[in-house]
Structure 1
Amino acid sequence: MATQEYRIVSGEESEIHKEPHIEGSRVTVRDVYVRVEHRGLSPDRVAERYNLDIADVYEALAYYHNNPEEMQQVEKRHERAGEEAKRRSSLTPPEN
């Protein structure tokens, strides 16, 4: 009988990002989700780009969808960080 080991480290257990990531890497669950769901990269391409097993990519996607409250908190934290960076920046975006 095969045993399955999950390689996602939860945000509570993470000492790296304070958000879920793939064990043994600095690749976050959110990073995988954004690349597949928003940027349209295939899971195979994400695995290749980050030197991950394809199973890790699918596990990260499953974790994202199975933990909506935790991931919403992560998204809000990223939004706040982006807003703070814009506020502190002296650069002005170009006008269209």
Structure 2
Amino acid sequence: MSQPAGRIVRELHDEPHLDGRRITVRFIKEQIEGRGLTPRTVADRHDLDVADVYRALTYYHDHPEEMRAVERQREAAIEEHEHLTTDPNDVRG
């Protein structure tokens, strides 16, 4: 049985996500539009109500400027911390 989420919230220094969950709007959008999963599949895999999945998709498309800003912030954070990752080709066993 899915957990009720309902609202999309954005906490300080965070990106929009389902209230009471750490599942982001961007993650749900990527699962459906990027990976080709159905809303029902995403809901079932993450114990969500399918309405919450549609709510997240609606939020994503209703707030294009905010979501572009979130994506730019994420890309900048990845670039900023890229030096902390290890290239698998550099690891010797």
Q: Compute the TM-score of the two structures, normalised by the length of structure 2.
A: 0.81
In the alignment, structure 1 residue 92 sits paired with structure 2 residue 87: yes
| 1:75 to 2:80 alignment | no
Using the alignment, how far apart are the partners of 1:76 and 1:93 within structure 2?
26
| Superposition deviation, residue 22 in structure 1 | 0.5
Task: Find runs of 4+ consecutive structure 1 residues off by over 3 angstroms.
Answer: none
Identify which of 29, 32, 35 aligns with 1:39: 35
The CA RMSD over aligned residues, in Å, is: 1.5
Q: What aligned pairs does 1:2-17 form with structure 2 within 5 A after superposition?
A: 6-9=6-9, 11=10, 14-15=11-12
Mapped partners of 1:59, 1:44: distance in 2: 13
User: What is the alpha-carbon distance in structure 2 between the residues aligned to residue 18 and residue 86 of structure 1?
Assistant: 20
Unaligned runs of 5+ in 1: 1-5
Aligned residues: 84
- Percent identity between matched residues is 50
Report the secondary structure of 1:40's partner residue.
Answer: coil
Match of 2:21 in 1: 25
Which amino acid counterpart does residue 37 of structure 2 have in structure 1?
L
User: Bigger relative contact order, structure 1 or 2, given CA contacts below 8 A and separation 6+?
Assistant: 2
Distance in 1 between residues matched to 2:21 and 2:53, nearest whole Å: 12
**Partners of 1:45 and 1:86 in 2: CA distance:** 32
Gaps of 5+ in 2: 1-5
Q: Distance in 2 between matches of 1:55 and 1:80?
A: 32
Cα displacement (A) at 1:88: 2.5
